[in-house]
Amino acid sequence: MDVLYVGSKKGLEAELIPREGYAFETISCGKLRRYFSWENFLDVFRTMAGICQSAWIIAQFKPEVIFFKGGYVGFGMAIAGGLMRKKVIIHESDLKMGLGNRLAARMADKICVSFPETVEAWRGDSRVVLTGNPVRAGLAEGNAEKGWKFSGLKPGKKMILIMGGSQGSKSVNNLIEKNLEDLLKDFQIIHICGKGNLPEYYAKLSTTERANYFACEYVGDELKDIYAVTDMMISRAGANTLAEIDFLGKPAILIPLVEGSRGDQVENAESFVKNHSAVVLRENQSEDFDLKKALKELLNKPERAIGKNQAADKIAKIIMELANRKNV
């Protein structure tokens, strides 16, 4: 089966997808904002251009199925595909469906979701299927030795992995800086900060502190090796990260993004903690939060077995069924 990935020329996909050997095309896209901005007027025309470009790509590539992951980048493909009578599948990672997916849902033959609450919200719609959120292959096959080598740290103290999202997080950095001296007495830390977001305090650390703390802007294939040395996590509550935490069975303190978001991470986190060794920390509660105590309490909870994430297989099966294929 031939695969064509359609995305934005400015996104990470423009670099990552061709590197994996897949055909890649770009389209114009307008951002679906919920607030006033003069850019909204221009984005109407960008979105219309993206739909026209998508129709041209569909006519040339002749796909049997279009899979739309949500967001504003692939919105044109989902709309053009529906108008051209192509089979359209959408997938929602978050608990509450985003605007792009809600608009594209009218065109969808199947709607894949990641949380049981989403199924309940769309009850009665036979197109909705609970698949979960797929995680990357080989995530549980990391090499601890490579993880230690990458970070420059050594086995001994329990390891905390901090992930502030793809853009990093100043509020997470501030929380860690406030607690860093105390944390490093009992823990080691690997901190993935986001491009251009290394915390200011990193350059000021002493030699002793550097022996237990490593920060970097971005991690690629090494992430599985870092997971192999990780005992617990402090993280945002993006749906992809939660799927990985669930799959690996890592205890976690979740700090959902609030400012500048539609609140999806708060809902994701509140659902996640119902069945996982996790604690939700709201950003406005961090001043009174005993971070070290919470981490130690999480360590004392029973470990969870590594999960069996079957989301990718379930989604692939739906794609093949709509394409009337028995195998790839």
pLDDT at residue 172, as a whole number = 84
Give dist(CA 58, CA 39) in Å, integer. 28
Work out the pLDDT band at 201, boundaries 50, 70, 90.
confident
Which domains can be identified in the chain, with CATH numbers? 4-134+310-322 (3.40.50.2000), 144-299 (3.40.50.2000)
Residue environment code for 211-231, b if the CB has 16+ CB neighbours within 10 A, otherwise e: ebbbbbeebeebbbbbbbbbb
- pLDDT value at 191 more than 80: yes
pLDDT at residue 43, as a whole number = 76
Work out the pLDDT band at 252, boundaries 50, 70, 90.
very high
- pLDDT value at 326 more than 60: no
- Side chain identity at residue 236, one-letter code: R
Q: In this predicted model, what pLDDT tens digit does every residue of 76-134 receive, in sequence order? A: 899 999 999 999 999 999 999 988 899 899 999 999 999 999 999 999 899 999 999 99
pLDDT at residue 269, as a whole number = 93
Going by C-alpha positions, the residue among 182, 155, 170, 133 that lies closest to residue 314 is 133
- pLDDT value at 327 more than 60: no
Lowest mean pLDDT among 62-66, 158-162, 206-210: 206-210
2-11, 17-26, 86-95: range with highest mean pLDDT: 86-95
Task: Pick the more confident residue, 207 or 30.
Answer: 207
What's the chain's average pLDDT?
Answer: 87
Please compute the mean of the pLDDT values over residues 69-82 and round it to a whole number.
87
pLDDT at residue 276, as a whole number = 87
pLDDT at residue 5, as a whole number = 94
- pLDDT value at 305 more than 60: no
pLDDT at residue 306, as a whole number = 62
- pTM (two decimals): 0.83
- pLDDT value at 296 more than 80: yes
pLDDT at residue 34, as a whole number = 60
pLDDT at residue 14, as a whole number = 83
Task: Pick the more confident residue, 289 or 37.
Answer: 289
Please compute the mean of the pLDDT values over residues 40-53 and round it to a whole number.
84
Residue corresponding to tokens 């002493």: 206
- Side chain identity at residue 7, one-letter code: G
Please compute the mean of the pLDDT values over residues 190-202 and round it to a whole number.
84
- pLDDT value at 9 more than 90: no
